[in-house]
Structure 1
Amino acid sequence: MGVTKHGKVAVLTNYREDSTSAAIGAYSRGVIVNSWLIGSTDKSEDTREFVQGIVASPEAKQVGGFSLVCGHINEPLAIVSNRSADMDQITWVATEKNQTRGLSNTSFDDRTWPKIIDGEQLMEAAIDEHVQKGDREDEDALIDRLLQVLNTDTLPRLSEENATIETYIHHLRKSIFIPLIGAANDRDRAAERTAAARVEDEMNTPANGPPDQSYTCGSYGTQKQTILLARPDGRVRYFERTLYDNDAKVVPVGQGDHSFEFNITE
């Protein structure tokens, strides 16, 4: 996920495959995001043309399954997946005000995932409550409300000892927040609800490097929580909270927070 000072924004979610072998590609998905963000800074660069080029490129077919959201701040955003039934069809969101649309590790038109429906409803409620507060609640309070949405943990706890990501894979669609999976049995459950992480980050794989294997091993869960706020006047705030470090150690709440603010330049 990223946003530039020229107003380009991109969000990529890896597609939840039925097996780990299907999730591994020859190229990093991060290349797809960067190709939009670090491309031309000219706002006239057409989002539709870019996405159609991604769909037609041989590299897109060699990347593990993904859904890509991209476009310009305060303009319609395109969504495309290289695992959709109709790969050439591009979906557009943010075409009007007051739209709330959820996307997770599946195609955009898949409405069977509880976490997507829950996320849309909880986000709408959080925004409505913030608006009702008016001047009594600032931007930081809105971020706190949205973090509460991201902390929603409804993942069923399986009885199997030493459960792995493979064991849980079909349950991940049920919870917005994913607690640590693959941790030692005596790990404090309270810490799990506070934060979780995947030790390996697939985005670290070079574009021409070996296929990423981190999906199949180590600890898995929610490592970072990101909130992007954009105002009509072009002011952007990018907030990110790190919950676990790369050694799977808990980062105390607040100590892993980073916030960046800037105005979009033409």
Structure 2
Amino acid sequence: MCIALISTAHPAYPLILLSNRDEFLNRPTAPAQWWSSPHSHVLGGRDLQRAEQGTWLAITKQGRIAVLTNFREEGDTYHTADKSRGAIPNAYVTQPPERKEGSEDFARRLIEEVGVGDVGGFSLVFGELRPWELKDGAREFPGLSIVSNRSVKADDLVTIATAEGETHGLSNSHFGDRSWPKVVHGEELLNAAIEDDFKDGNRDQSGFAERLFEILSIDKLPKRKQGEAWDTYVRQMRNSILIPPVGGISAESKPADSMASGKDGVDTPDRGNVEVREFGYGTQKQTVVLVDNTGRVKFIERTLYDQEGRTVRVKDGQREFTFEIEGWQDP
């Protein structure tokens, strides 16, 4: 039940990206860091459980960025994939820095060479960050593209974030699905935070980032009612931006898709009775990315739970990186 929120509405930041990664809390995961050679230009976390060691969110020194969300698939549409979805954003950010590949070319390569038929349902938001241009008195941006293996043609790309004032949310459904309250609520909260920051002339980047983490921490998941069917309760997750620890099955034996699909669960009367260290599923990591008008990136990741399922204090779980995008002003 991950969520990504993206905006071009702040005058000081051509791109704002917020992300919650929801997973089994004891799934082996590397925190955000610069990757080792030959991919030392890539910054992001990694999934250590699958051989691909894929990512859900990463950015490169050259400004390529990718964030992935899963599809919530129920019944017969759910299947165990042969390949990790983390390989999908990997394919974009690990390409050689000097390689020039447009969005349609990458989507075609993804479908024809990398392959998307042997992974579970996903949506990938990706693109190369560059300065806005002034056209007819309005700011225009290079934009980001969205590709999904639930519409597997390269020419089915959706383009977003091409104009000033756009704010979009994406969770575990197709882009534009307004039936997910967490997406609508997240967009509203992000717009309000941007408006307040601009109106107040705050320019306190740390304070603004903290406000964004507050958005990612909105918990509207109700307690599970006595006798409530598990698949019914799982659907409540579409209401909550943050997913607190809830009952489920061990990450060692089942993928998180089965949790999201409503196929499995433990019959606990409320989430407070779950033994997090063994069975917890929820928001594992939170990330805020701010890109300013000079091409300066601030990437902040918070780990909420350690590999034993224990709560991590903010000061211990936060990683922060700042760097300048190479070639920001290049044509």
- 8 Å CA contact retained: 2:300, 2:321: yes
**Shift in Å, 1:169:** 2.3
Paired with 2:235 and 2:243, the residues of 1 have a C-alpha distance of: 12
Higher helix share goes to which structure?
1
**Shift in Å, 1:43:** 6.2
After TM superposition, the structure 1 = structure 2 runs for residues 219-230 of structure 1, keeping only pairs within 5 Å, are: 219-230=280-291
User: Where does residue 5 of structure 2 map in the other structure?
Assistant: none
Q: 1:89 aligns with which of 150, 156, 165?
A: 156
User: Where does residue 111 of structure 2 map in the other structure?
Assistant: 55
Paired with 2:151 and 2:178, the residues of 1 have a C-alpha distance of: 14
Bigger Cα displacement from structure 2, 82-91 vs 26-35: 82-91
Q: 1:171 aligns with which of 216, 231, 236?
A: 236
Q: Deviations over 1:73-117 (max 9, x none)?
A: 133110011124978511001111121011111110211110110
Paired with 2:320 and 2:214, the residues of 1 have a C-alpha distance of: 17
Bigger Cα displacement from structure 2, 154-163 vs 241-250: 154-163
- 8 Å CA contact retained: 1:227, 1:240: yes
Which letter does structure 2 place at the counterpart of 1:147? F
- 8 Å CA contact retained: 2:111, 2:152: no
**Shift in Å, 1:255:** 1.5
User: Where does residue 45 of structure 1 map in the other structure?
Assistant: 101
Q: Deviations over 1:19-67 (max 9, x none)?
A: 4971531101111111100103136321221013223457201101100
Q: TM-score, normalised by structure 2?
A: 0.67
- 8 Å CA contact retained: 1:77, 1:94: yes
* Aligned residue-pair number: 241
Which letter does structure 2 place at the counterpart of 1:155? L
- 8 Å CA contact retained: 1:241, 1:256: yes
Unaligned stretches of 5+ residues in structure 2: 1-56, 131-141, 260-278
User: Where does residue 259 of structure 1 map in the other structure?
Assistant: 320
Indicate whether 1:28 and 2:94 are aligned. Answer: no
Which letter does structure 2 place at the counterpart of 1:213? P
Indicate whether 1:213 and 2:227 are aligned. Answer: no
User: Where does residue 14 of structure 1 map in the other structure?
Assistant: 70
Change (3 A) 1:234 1:99: same
After TM superposition, the structure 1 = structure 2 runs for residues 166-245 of structure 1, keeping only pairs within 5 Å, are: 166=231, 168-182=233-247, 200=251, 213-216=255-258, 218-245=279-306
Q: TM-score, normalised by structure 1?
A: 0.82
Paired with 2:293 and 2:251, the residues of 1 have a C-alpha distance of: 37
**Shift in Å, 1:137:** 4.4
RMSD of aligned alpha carbons: 2.6
Higher strand share goes to which structure?
2
- 8 Å CA contact retained: 2:304, 2:317: yes
- 8 Å CA contact retained: 2:91, 2:110: no
User: Where does residue 113 of structure 1 map in the other structure?
Assistant: 180
- 8 Å CA contact retained: 1:20, 1:216: no
Q: Deviations over 1:118-141 (max 9, x none)?
A: 01000000111111221x441000
**Sequence identity of aligned pairs in percent?**
38
- 8 Å CA contact retained: 1:6, 1:43: no
The one of the two structures with greater contact order (alpha-carbon pairs below 8 A, sep at least 6) is 2
Paired with 2:311 and 2:90, the residues of 1 have a C-alpha distance of: 29
Paired with 1:106 and 1:179, the residues of 2 have a C-alpha distance of: 20
Q: Deviations over 1:172-229 (max 9, x none)?
A: 111111111018xxxxxxxxxxxxxx9749xxxxxxxxx9634447321101110011
Change (3 A) 1:245 1:93: same
- 8 Å CA contact retained: 1:199, 1:246: no
- 8 Å CA contact retained: 2:108, 2:153: no
- 8 Å CA contact retained: 1:7, 1:264: yes
